[in-house]
C-alpha cells in the first residue's frame, strides 16, 4: 500500500497515533485469511486450497474459486515482491482451460449442479496478491490477453488488513467493449427504440467513466461492471426503464419511491441490495452519487 498511512484517533485527548504497516510473517498467513473470507474480500466463492495439477503438470494452485458472475478464479499469493507470481499464475490458468470438466466437477461438488452448469469460460481470472509489485509487473499484465488483477496487501497493527488493486486488466478489452456496445444497442432497440438506446449508452458510459480498471462481464440475465468485485449490474431494458443493482447498503440511502428500492433478500439477477430504476437521462445524473459510492466500495 505504497504511500498510505493509517492513523488511530483518540476521542479522549484528540490525538492521533500512526498504525504501522507490515508484511505477513509467512505467505500462508495471507492465504489463510483470504481463503477464510474470500467472498467478502474478493467477491469470489472459495472452492479449494492447494489444488494439485497432476504429476505431468507438477504444480499446486494456491486457491481456486468462482466469482460473482460464474468466472473461474485462480488466486496466487506472495509474501512480498516476486517477479514470478504472474507467470506462475498464467501457467496455472492455461492448465485450467485445458481441464474444464475437472473444474466443473469440483464446482458441482462444492456449490451444486446449477453453479457448475453456469461456469463462464469466456473470462477466467487470475488474482495475484502480494506485498508489492514492480512497474514491470503492471506493464506485463497489460500486454496479456487474460483477465488479471494485481492486489497489494498490508497488515496494519494486529487487526487490520488493507487491499489495494494495483492493476486490473480484462482479457480482450477492445473486442469485449465493441461487443458490449452492440449488445446494449440491440437489447434497447428491441424494447423501445431510440430513447432506450440513448439511456442504455448513458448508463454504460457513466459506469465505465468512474475510474480505471472497470471491467464488464456479459451474462444473459445482466451485464456486470466490476473492479475486483462487482459494483453494478444492469439488467436488459424493460419497456420504460432500466434496472441497475448496486453494492450500496440501502439503510444508508434515502430511498425514493419509483427511483430507489431496498431489495435485500429479494431474488433478482445480478448482485447488489440497492435497486435503481432509470427512465430518463436525468435519472442517470441523479444516480451518479450512488454509482460512485458503489464503485468506491468494490
Q: Is the pLDDT of residue 190 over 90?
A: no
What are 79-127's pLDDT values in tens digits?
998 878 899 999 999 999 999 999 999 999 999 999 999 999 998 999 9
Q: Retrieve residue 52's grid coordinates.
A: 494439485
What are 232-276's pLDDT values in tens digits?
999 988 888 999 999 999 999 999 999 999 999 998 999 999 999
**Radius of gyration for the chain, computed over Cα atoms and rounded to the nearest angstrom:** 20
* Mean pLDDT of the region 205-231: 91
Least confident of 29-38, 157-166, 191-200, 242-251: 191-200
Q: Retrieve residue 282's grid coordinates.
A: 436525468
Query: What percentage of the chain reaches a pLDDT higher than 90?
Result: 66
What is the spatial distance between Cα 264 and Cα 273, in angstroms, rounded to a whole number? 5
Rounded-to-10 torsion of CA 132, 169, 66, 80: -10
- Whether the full predicted model's pTM is greater than 0.85, yes or no, is no
Least confident of 77-81, 176-180, 226-230: 176-180
DSSP single-letter state for residue 237: P
Amino acid at each position: 500500500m505504497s504511500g498510505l498511512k493509517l492513523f488511530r484517533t483518540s476521542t479522549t485527548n484528540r490525538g492521533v497515533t500512526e498504525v504501522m504497516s507490515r508484511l505477513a510473517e509467512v505467505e500462508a498467513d495471507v492465504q489463510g485469511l483470504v481463503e477464510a473470507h474470500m467472498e467478502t474480500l474478493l467477491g469470489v466463492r472459495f472452492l479449494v486450497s492447494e489444488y494439485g495439477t497432476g504429476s505431468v503438470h507438477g504444480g499446486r494452485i494456491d486457491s481456486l474459486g468462482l466469482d460473482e458472475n460464474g468466472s473461474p478464479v485462480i488466486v496466487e499469493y506472495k509474501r512480498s515482491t516476486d517477479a514470478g507470481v504472474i507467470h506462475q499464475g498464467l501457467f496455472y490458468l492455461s492448465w485450467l482451460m485445458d481441464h474444464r470438466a475437472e473444474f466443473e466437477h469440483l464446482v458441482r461438488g462444492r456449490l451444486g449442479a446449477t453453479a457448475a452448469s453456469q461456469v463462464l469460460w469466456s473470462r477466467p481470472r487470475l488474482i495475484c496478491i502480494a506485498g508489492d509489485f514492480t512497474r514491470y509487473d503492471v506493464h506485463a499484465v497489460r500486454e496479456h490477453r487474460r483477465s488479471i488483477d494485481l492486489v497489494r496487501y498490508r497488515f496494519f497493527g494486529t487487526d487490520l488488513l488493507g487491499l489495494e488493486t494495483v492493476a486490473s486488466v480484462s482479457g480482450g478489452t477492445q473486442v469485449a467493449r465493441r461487443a458490449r456496445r452492440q449488445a446494449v444497442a440491440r437489447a434497447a432497440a428491441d424494447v423501445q427504440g431510440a430513447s432506450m438506446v440513448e439511456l442504455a449508452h448513458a448508463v454504460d458510459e457513466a459506469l465505465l467513466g468512474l475510474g480505471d480498471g472497470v471491467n464488464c462481464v456479459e451474462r444473459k440475465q445482466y451485464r456486470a461492471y466490476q473492479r475486483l468485485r462487482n459494483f453494478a449490474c444492469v439488467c436488459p431494458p424493460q419497456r420504460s426503464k432500466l434496472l441497475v443493482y448496486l453494492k450500496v447498503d440501502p439503510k444508508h440511502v434515502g430511498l425514493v419511491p419509483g427511483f430507489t428500492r431496498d431489495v435485500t433478500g429479494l431474488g433478482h439477477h445480478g448482485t447488489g441490495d440497492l435497486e435503481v430504476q432509470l427512465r430518463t437521462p436525468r435519472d442517470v445524473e441523479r444516480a451518479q452519487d450512488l454509482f460512485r459510492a458503489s464503485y468506491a466500495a468494490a
